[in-house]
Structure 1
Amino acid sequence: MTDTQPLLSVRDLTVTFPTKRGPVRAVDSLAFEVRPGRTLGIVGESGSGKSVTSLAVMGLHSGAEVGGSIVFDGQELVGLGERALNRLRGRRMAMIFQDPLSSLHPYYTVGEQIAEHHRVHFGSGRAVARRRAVDALAEVGIPEPERRAGEYPHQFSGGMRQRVMIAMALACEPDLLIADEPTTALDVTVQAQILELIARLQEERGLAVIMITHDLGVVARVAHEVLVMYGGRAAEQAAVDDLFARPSHPYTRGLLDSLPRLDDSDDEPLRAIPGSPPSLLTPSPGCAFAARCAVAAAGSDEERARCETERPPLDGPAGHPVACHFPAYEGIAS
């Protein structure tokens, strides 16, 4: 595989959960690609389907119906058996989960947990795996790795636990790293350190990275391409510079408008997108964002009816498709 070919190719991905009140389609007809050495940022509000998408790629959904195609390095993952998935997970695909404290076992030292990960995938002896665990902790900048490998998760700060999670994810030198909100609940200094660490390791190893976040500042800093999700669907896709320069979907513009600005006065309230995310139990037949959209609200009766009843396709200029009947509306400040 060359660097110009996608390592991961997702096409028409759907994830549906059965519930007592009916099926919930948490991801609907999603498509994207990730190439070696590149970072795809997936952004959106809570409930937009970001984490569900990442878990589907890893094959970690139990009880959900996953449809479409997920091709990793030429191998179709949808419908692949659990044993074959286990050989890929952790070895060629790894994931950093949102909450490191709940993801690490409290009864085992961090060194034991990383070493076990290495033994499972490489069949290495205990001494070799222990050495690899210490080396992995050193690679992610944990001081005195030999000593700290013998400590338990509760003895680490939040930032250090996140580094342990990164060390565990990278111990087997995977090709794809999925980072699900890796800087949530960390202060800005530690957040910057974690992002710099991931970027350095990506450059050294040619990692393909999926960065899942609601923080557009993180996306602007680390991503090469951006996928904006809303209501389980793709709203907009573009290169990061293009997206920030020409946000074309009203939802993307709303996310950018909600960021604090340096030229705002001290008593200026933060701008928010009105309304609430849509219910996935009763999805709209039209645009999922129509009920909250300033463009639809300002349009004619015919235009509002179109937004509410006709689902917009993900379409537009090459490299910057938008799922909107009226993209690049100039009435909303960017």
Structure 2
Amino acid sequence: MDAPRPTAPADPRQATPLRDAGEPLLSVRNLSVTFPTQHGPVRAVDSLDFDVHRGRTLGIVGESGSGKSVTSMAVLGLHTGAQVTGSITLDEQELVGLTERELNRLRGRRMAMIFQDPLSSLHPYYTVGEQIAEHHRVHFRSGRAAARRRAVEMLAEVGIPEPQRRAGEYPHQFSGGMRQRVMIAMALACEPELLIADEPTTALDVTVQAQILELIARLQQDRGLAVVMITHDLGVVARVAHEVLVMYGGRAVEQAPVDTLFAAPAHPYTRGLLDSLPRLDDPDDAPLRAIPGSPPSLLTPAPGCAFAPRCSRAASAAASERLRCQTEPPVLSGPAGHASACHLPTYEGAPS
């Protein structure tokens, strides 16, 4: 019997119908990111494609080292020294190849990012109000008084009590959850169209995590934001995402609507991630089920499927199919709306 899967609350996702289906706000095509190292080039992201529409959330999920954060940083042009190839368009404007000055005009104004650790992202020597106000002044050339009012407005919008007073406080005077709210306020102060959230709830307890996710969902509905949620937590994906991109070894291994992916994962890696979740019917002392083996080395990529050495489906397949998994890279394909990069996929209605 399959483990119960977490499901997203109905309201946040149903309240944001797909708009401009033919014209995504963010479109990524054949994106590759390669870092030079003393041991040779490392391709951290390889031939990645995805779209994000206004009012929708794309969840990007995978183990550490799968390329999730590298992808998000590439969208904002934050990689120094890396070779970025392919195409990244924001509302049909090509971002790959823009100068640092051109990117600075877009960062914060049209696209913004919430980082994992707000304490390291906020400057300890300036008040939170000053930091939000400075962000607004840079992009709108506003005066100090107007920028300060905007900072207080944003603190109030993200649910920080007594925003006028707390704008004059320093990051260390805020709890972890409140600091993350400050980061959201800063990210949205200039009303961007695209919000990238990189593990925004990892360091928070479950209650505060739920509050932050509900806040992002509400702000998305109010503003029609396109959101990319980077996470390793499938519970977060189930709660907020409309579509899901599963990454492994720098490549996309499965793409599907969130309900489809949780109900009928096609790729064995996705199945392994879901099976590693705690089950409600497990005894309290039951060990968690882990995917055997380790993620692949990106210095010496395998000639075939990167997941083949860890894949029980490939191990139990016929010799010819097993050889294909080991030598031939799979291509992302499948039924409309549900693509998998696997030689032995299982779709809904097929045996797993």
TM-score (norm 1): 0.98
* Structure 2 CA distance for aligned equivalents of residues 265 and 328 of structure 1: 29
Give CA deviations for 1:180-199 in whole Å, capped at 9, x if unaligned: 00001100000000000000
CA distance in 2 between counterparts of 1:152 and 1:328 reads: 52
Q: CA deviation at 1:300?
A: 2.2
Q: Which residue of 1 aligns with 2:148?
A: 130
Q: Is the aligned partner of 1:298 residue 2:316?
A: yes
Match of 1:217 in 2: 235
SS in 1 for 2:222: helix
**Structure 2 counterpart of 1:3:** 20
- Indicate the RMSD between aligned Cα atoms, in angstroms: 1.0
Which position in structure 2 is the counterpart of 1:144?
A: 162
Q: Is the 8 A contact 1:39 1:225 kept in 2?
A: yes
Aligned residue type for 1:117:
H
Q: 1:267 deviation in Å?
A: 2.4
The residue that corresponds to 2:286 in the other structure is 268
In the TM superposition, residue 331 of structure 1 has moved relative to its aligned partner by 6.6
Q: In structure 2, what is the Cα distance between the partners aligned to 1:234 and 1:271?
A: 23
- Note if contact 1:93-1:177 (Cα within 8 Å) is conserved in structure 2: yes
Residue aligned with 2:51, SS:
strand
1:249 aligns with 2:260: no
State the alpha-carbon separation in 1 of the partners of residues 342 and 51 from structure 2. 21
1:161 equivalenced with 2:182 (yes/no): no
The secondary structure found in structure 2 opposite 1:324 is coil
Is 1:316 paired with 2:318? no
Q: Which runs of 4+ in 1 moved over 4 A?
A: 329-332
Contact 1:68–1:78 (8 Å) recurs in 2: yes
| Equivalent in 49, 54, 79 of residue 61 of structure 1 | 79
Partner of 1:181 in structure 2? Answer: 199
Unaligned runs of 5+ residues in structure 2 are 1-18
- Cα distance in 2 between the residues matched to 1:15 and 1:285: 19
**Equivalent position SS for 2:339:** coil
How far does residue 75 in structure 1 lie from its aligned partner after superposition?
A: 0.4
Secondary structure, counterpart of 1:166 in structure 2: helix
SS at match of 1:277: coil
Give the whole-Å Cα distance in 2 for the aligned partners of 1:298 and 1:156: 53
What's the CA shift string for 1:227-284, capped at 9, x where partnerless? 0000000000000011011100000000000000101122221100000000000001
**2:147 aligned with 1:105:** no
> What do residues 128-168 of structure 1 show as CA deviations (whole Å, max 9, x unaligned)?
00000000000000011111111111111100000000000
Report the number of matched residues. Answer: 331
User: Is 1:208 equivalent to 2:226 in the alignment?
Assistant: yes
1:23 to 21, 41, 45: 41
Q: Deviations over 1:11-42 (max 9, x none)?
A: 00000000000000000000000000000000
Structure 1 unaligned regions, length at least 5: none
1:82 aligns with 2:129: no
Amino acid at match of 1:142: I
C-alpha contact (below 8 Å) 1:7/1:36 kept by paired residues: yes
Determine helix, strand or coil for the equivalent of 2:278. coil
Q: Which residue of 2 aligns with 1:95?
A: 113
Within the alignment, does 1:233 sit opposite 2:222 as a pair? no
- 1:74 CA drift (Å): 0.9
Asked if the contact 1:3–1:37 (Cα under 8 Å) also holds between the matched residues in 2, the reply is no
